[in-house]
Structure 1
Amino acid sequence: MTPWTGRRVTSRVRARGWLRTESPLHVGGLGTGPAEPLPLAVDGLNRPYVPGTTLAGVLRDWSRGAGPDALDELWGFAAARGDGGRASRVIVADALVTSDRRLDERGLPASPLSVAQLEVRSSVGIDRTTGAAAPEILYGRQVVPAGHYLRLEIDVESAESPALDEARMRALLTALAAGEIRLGAATGRGLGVVRLLDDCLDLVVDRFDSPAGLLAVLRDDATRARSLTSLGTADPELPPRRELLDIQIGWKPLAPVMVRATASGLTVDTLPLTTRVDDRHLTLVLAGSSLKGALRGHAEFVERTARGITAPQAARGASASEHSIAFRAQLDQLRAVRALFGAARDDVKDRRAGALRVEECDSLVTIPESLWLSATGADAALAAPDEREGSLPRAVRERLDDHGLAQADHVALDRWTGGAADGRLFSVLEPHSVRWEPIRLSIDLTRLGDERDHALALLLLTLRDLAAGRVPVGAAVNRGFGDIEVSGITLSGGPWHEQIELADVLNGPEISTIARAWTDYLAQEVS
């Protein structure tokens, strides 16, 4: 008898569907130079895509939950020594990024996204001592805008327990449909939110251990099809889930609130950051990196005030590199801040990703792309000759005002003459009456580990100050921008199983343990 070769497979669960990007997505590719934004991964035809290794990695990480690296028999493993190990039974294909959900005659995505449609997100570090941009801390990355699609193709091959594997596939797809699994980089700053669309999900279960099952596969029998609810009703036997705390902040601006866009307009110097809603509309956005930076800066201020210490700084006359080193030392000086927001340097002994995730915050205004092109000056050739310089055309200003935006001109005054300084006139497109979505945060309490209670205390103090109007957000906060009024902060998860207001948390029974941990933490030396 011929011995069995290869991996024994008696059944297969196959899923084919679409993931929709609910926030910008970045999966890094090959860079061209240190001065360029971090590029997006592209395939051999220069089409943006998400490698199967990236998808398999995040799916495995979600499956692992709060437990150790388990499910090796499903996801495979490599032996620490020697040639032992086994390949994964989960096969994940590369996911092409597309503009819509059409497939060609071969079943491949028909509308790959062009690299010309990518956006660029830039970020800068703010020195805690000077309040100005920290040297050598400007960086940017290309992102796929929200509202695009990824082609998802997953197979799970089984030999011994097909019912269990079907249940695990159901759990994975359910988590994707709920938006629980993030893709790519900077997920702690709100990037990488994807959601599985259930209206176009194809699920089939193939059996290879009987003639009838083999014939059904060859004939493409419709009886092989399954729905997500009917797929694998058994217990998936996954490790314990991670413990999360969700926070929602309702707010409204008291002054213009915006994040500055990287590029200037032809007429207006400073524009608010926008992101695409669909093919013909945009909206204003507060980047998750900006919101997280504001919260981190204030959390550092709270802890340094409580400890009576100042932020490390470079000596007067130091080089740009020395100032950059001092800035990284500012970020990594405080252990509770590192636990919440992450560490900046590789040489920090407990370096890890921060437990706090801050989502992107979109405005509730939808701006037609044609109007935005007029506001930025991209269609300046269409303007009347007397309307091309100095100010936006009146018709454009009126339409922008309907959307809560207005051009404001500013000029610097000469300290000697008292008149306008030459060459110092600049303009800003200010969102003066724009409504916004709530700010949403989440904390991975499992990741906090032993730092949990005192890190949670620091976050609650930061949220208390945010509710009191002490934390401005966005750009130009020293020039009258960024003031907000918080209407309510609710928490759910962790110690609070039911949704609860921040004021009730600060006066509840759980706060005594958290406060005691904070006091004990402050008694320790800064590490």
Structure 2
Amino acid sequence: MSPRAGRHLTSRVRARGWLLTTAPLHVGGLGHDPSDPLPIALDGQGRPYVPGTTLAGVLRHWMDGAQPGTLDGLWGSAEEKGHASRVVVADGLVTTEPRLDEHALPAAPLDVAALEFRPSVGIDRVTGAAAPEFLYGRAVIPAGHYVRLEIDVESNEEADLDEARMDALLTALRAGKVRVGAATGRGLGAVRLLDDPFEMVVDRFDSPEGLPAVLRDDPARRRGAEPSRRTDPALPPARQVLDIRVEWRPLAPVMVRAGAGGLFADTLPLTTRVDRRHVTLVLPGGSIKGALRGHAEFVERTAREGGPPAPSAPPGASPADYSAAFRAQLDQLPAVRALFGAARDGRERGAGALRAEECAALVTVPDELWDAAIGGEPDESDSVRDRLEDLGMARSDHVSLDRWTGGAADGRLFTVLEPHAVGWEPIRLSVDLTRLGSGSDVALALLLVTLRDLAEGRIPLGASANRGFGDIEVTEVVLTGPPWARPVTLPQALNSPEVSSVGRAWTDYLAQEVS
């Protein structure tokens, strides 16, 4: 008799549910014009979706924890004598509601017209202006939408262990510990598994009762959302993460510019969706991370007494030369590179260990009001302005003066909708200490000095920081995680015994030459 073909299968764990996007989400798709924003992945019918390969990759990354490759027996291996994954992850369609139609397919796909835009720009460290070839943007799926999640785990002799691992994974998804998509270090990709609607089915094929139960669709096969806890999942150690919460309030208008003007203002603050009927102002994680990185570079260069970075490129150089020189600026300082990330063509490619979440304002603006502010009728202007002022935003006029005549320069009168009385949620940062490895003390020292300067008002946030915007007052900084055994405030951390080794590592690091 010939050997049995296919993979031996004794049981199957099947989970079906919905991931709620709690932050904007970007999974890259195919673009046709390099001048367009980075596009979202679309399926064959032109609907935003998250490919199963993307979902499988981030789920595997979480389960691997601090020891990648430990679970090759579950997730598969590409080695010469490897094998396919026993985990099957379906594509996840993005929807506006967590609901299925009569064919058990997602019933309310998201329209691409509802996508948002996130701008990004690199600031040249010498000129202070936008670096050539570093102005770009990406389309994102707004928060408050849903991604269909369908996972199957096919088991043989490890059925109980696989079920326990599925429980652990689903628990992490419910806690929001798994990020999906690109730019997660900029606060994108936060999702959370809903408890309802959710279905988990455990099928057994190794007993006379198991297969008939599958054919009858026996309700006893279904499990609730609560994990069974019957078996230790035997997962690798989790990654060590330091969480940071910064309580603050603005002393001046704080905003990031939107890409277009409006009815009565040339410049509007960037917004993001809160729910299906309201938006709010937002500081993207990339903007916060960029402000912290720029100051961290200043700190390290000052500590090294090395002066400012070399000019980005000689006069008359091509944009490509300027771009290459700017990337070289970003790659000069190892501690900054480890904490904030390396340039794409740097010597040590890789994402930074620091993550900055998007920071939303505490005010909510109805869609109809914001639509009127962007493109309403002129006769509605006064009414719209009054309603926005009630929410803490007022129009301010700005003008450039002609240095010869002393009058207004031609074409230099512009207006800004300024959030002068808007509160904000805390800034949330996290540092993956596992990613930093042996260099964690050096990076942590640089981060602590940067946070100290943020707390002392030395780091403005958002746009127009040289024009009176962006000043903030920090009321509290709380750090939770290694190397501290309990949550500590920033002053407590700076005076704790744990910081002594951090200081020694920083001193030794500064004594090293940096090319």
TM-score category, normalised to shorter length: over 0.9
- In structure 1, how many angstroms separate the alpha carbons of the residues matched to 2:429 and 2:460? 17
> After the TM superposition, which of the residue ranges 13-22 and 311-320 deviates more from structure 2?
311-320
Match of residue 153 from structure 2: 156
Match of residue 339 from structure 1: 338
Match of residue 72 from structure 2: 72
Match of residue 323 from structure 1: 322
Match of residue 60 from structure 1: 60
Question: Deviation at 1:199?
Answer: 2.0
SS at match of 1:134: strand
SS at match of 2:212: helix
Question: Could you state the TM-score of these two structures normalised by the residue count of structure 1?
Answer: 0.96
1:469 to 1:9, Cα distance in 2 relative to 1, 3 A: same
SS at match of 1:86: coil
Question: Deviation at 1:216?
Answer: 1.1
SS at match of 2:122: coil
- In structure 2, how many angstroms separate the alpha carbons of the residues matched to 1:128 and 1:347? 17
User: Could you report, residue by residue, the CA deviation over 1:154-173 in whole angstroms, capped at 9, with x for unpaired residues?
Assistant: 01111102110000000110
SS at match of 1:325: helix
Q: 1:359 aligns with which of 335, 357, 360?
A: 357
Match of residue 461 from structure 1: 449
Match of residue 308 from structure 1: 305
Give the unaligned 5+ runs of structure 2.
Answer: none
Equivalent residues of 1:166, 1:232 under 8 A apart: no
- In structure 1, how many angstroms separate the alpha carbons of the residues matched to 2:430 and 2:41? 28
Question: Deviation at 1:317?
Answer: 3.4
User: Could you report, residue by residue, the CA deviation over 1:191-230 in whole angstroms, capped at 9, with x for unpaired residues?
Assistant: 0000000121101111111231111111111111112324
Code of the aligned partner of 1:344: A
Match of residue 441 from structure 1: 429
Q: 2:438 aligns with which of 450, 455, 462?
A: 450
Match of residue 272 from structure 1: 269
Q: Is 2:47 the partner of 1:44? A: no
Q: 2:495 aligns with which of 499, 507, 517?
A: 507
- In structure 2, how many angstroms separate the alpha carbons of the residues matched to 1:345 and 1:43? 28
Question: Deviation at 1:143?
Answer: 0.4
Equivalent residues of 2:284, 2:358 under 8 A apart: yes
Give the unaligned 5+ runs of structure 1.
Answer: 388-392
Equivalent residues of 2:331, 2:346 under 8 A apart: no
- In structure 1, how many angstroms separate the alpha carbons of the residues matched to 2:198 and 2:371? 37
Q: 2:406 aligns with which of 418, 436, 441?
A: 418
Q: Is 2:478 the partner of 1:490? A: yes
Question: Deviation at 1:251?
Answer: 0.1
SS at match of 1:125: strand
Match of residue 183 from structure 2: 186
- In structure 1, how many angstroms separate the alpha carbons of the residues matched to 2:276 and 2:400? 39
SS at match of 2:508: helix
Superposition RMSD in Å: 1.2
Question: Deviation at 1:55?
Answer: 0.4
> After the TM superposition, which of the residue ranges 215-224 and 141-150 deviates more from structure 2?
215-224
Question: Deviation at 1:373?
Answer: 1.0
- In structure 1, how many angstroms separate the alpha carbons of the residues matched to 2:141 and 2:441? 37
SS at match of 1:203: strand
Question: Deviation at 1:267?
Answer: 2.8
Code of the aligned partner of 2:319: A
Match of residue 243 from structure 2: 246
Equivalent residues of 1:77, 1:85 under 8 A apart: yes
- In structure 1, how many angstroms separate the alpha carbons of the residues matched to 2:260 and 2:154? 49
Code of the aligned partner of 1:300: E
Equivalent residues of 1:245, 1:493 under 8 A apart: yes
User: Could you report, residue by residue, the CA deviation over 1:91-117 in whole angstroms, capped at 9, with x for unpaired residues?
Assistant: 000000001112100110010001111
- In structure 2, how many angstroms separate the alpha carbons of the residues matched to 1:210 and 1:94? 32
Q: Is 2:6 the partner of 1:6? A: yes
Equivalent residues of 2:295, 2:450 under 8 A apart: yes
Q: Is 2:85 the partner of 1:97? A: no
Question: Deviation at 1:43?
Answer: 0.5
- In structure 2, how many angstroms separate the alpha carbons of the residues matched to 1:21 and 1:357? 17
Equivalent residues of 2:126, 2:309 under 8 A apart: yes
Equivalent residues of 2:26, 2:181 under 8 A apart: yes
Q: 2:123 aligns with which of 123, 126, 149?
A: 126
Code of the aligned partner of 2:18: W
> After the TM superposition, which of the residue ranges 281-290 and 69-78 deviates more from structure 2?
69-78
Q: Give the length in aligned residue pairs.
A: 513
Q: Is 2:222 the partner of 1:225? A: yes
Code of the aligned partner of 1:13: V
Equivalent residues of 1:332, 1:345 under 8 A apart: no
Code of the aligned partner of 1:525: E
Question: Deviation at 1:2?
Answer: 6.1
Question: Deviation at 1:307?
Answer: 0.8
Match of residue 520 from structure 1: 508
SS at match of 2:371: helix
Match of residue 390 from structure 1: none
Code of the aligned partner of 1:196: L
Equivalent residues of 1:249, 1:486 under 8 A apart: yes
Q: Is 2:400 the partner of 1:394? A: no
Q: Is 2:193 the partner of 1:196? A: yes
Code of the aligned partner of 1:35: S
Question: Could you state the TM-score of these two structures normalised by the residue count of structure 2?
Answer: 0.98
Equivalent residues of 1:302, 1:462 under 8 A apart: yes
> After the TM superposition, which of the residue ranges 405-414 and 290-299 deviates more from structure 2?
405-414
